[in-house]
Amino acid sequence: MNRETKRMLQRQGQLDKSGEPAAPVKSVPAQARSKADPARRGGIKKYFNDVKSELKKVKWPSRQDVVSYSSLVFVVLVLVIAFIFGLNLVFSKLVFFLFK
């Protein structure tokens, strides 16, 4: 095992400072965690209430903003398409001219 691997394993807590394997940490099964912490379990109703309260905090754009940004995106899209079409036309003419 090289130095980099040892350092990485030490950062992850799998090796102690001397380079020996650290004592394994026993993980708690998911079912035991959920039973041990009932405050975290709220049910589907609590979930949707939380979602509703978070969505109330969102600053939604106005209709005018949506229309103006959408128009801007559409105009830029048309310009990019026209530019690519022009490049394609020029290069195809150039290739046909060279191999004629």
> Would the CA dihedral through 22, 26, 30, 36 be positive or negative?
negative
For 6-35, what is the mean pLDDT? 71
Give the H or E element holding residue 72: helix 63-98
Whether residue 95 lies inside any domain: the answer is yes
Whether residue 100 lies inside any domain: the answer is yes
Whether residue 54 lies inside any domain: the answer is no
Q: Which residue has the higher pLDDT, 2 or 31?
A: 2
State which residues form the domain around 86: 62-100
What is the per-residue pLDDT across 61-94, written as a single tens digit (0 to 9) for each? 999 999 999 999 999 999 999 999 999 999 999 9
Kindly report the average pLDDT of the chain as a whole number: 85
Whether residue 15 lies inside any domain: the answer is no
Whether residue 69 lies inside any domain: the answer is yes
Whether residue 2 lies inside any domain: the answer is no
Q: Are 6 and 12 in contact (CB under 8 A)?
A: no
pTM equals 0.46
Report residue 27 as tokens: 């993980």
Number of domains in the chain: 1
Report residue 44 as tokens: 């589907």
Nearest to 36 by CA among 47, 44, 25, 27: 27
Whether residue 68 lies inside any domain: the answer is yes
Whether residue 17 lies inside any domain: the answer is no
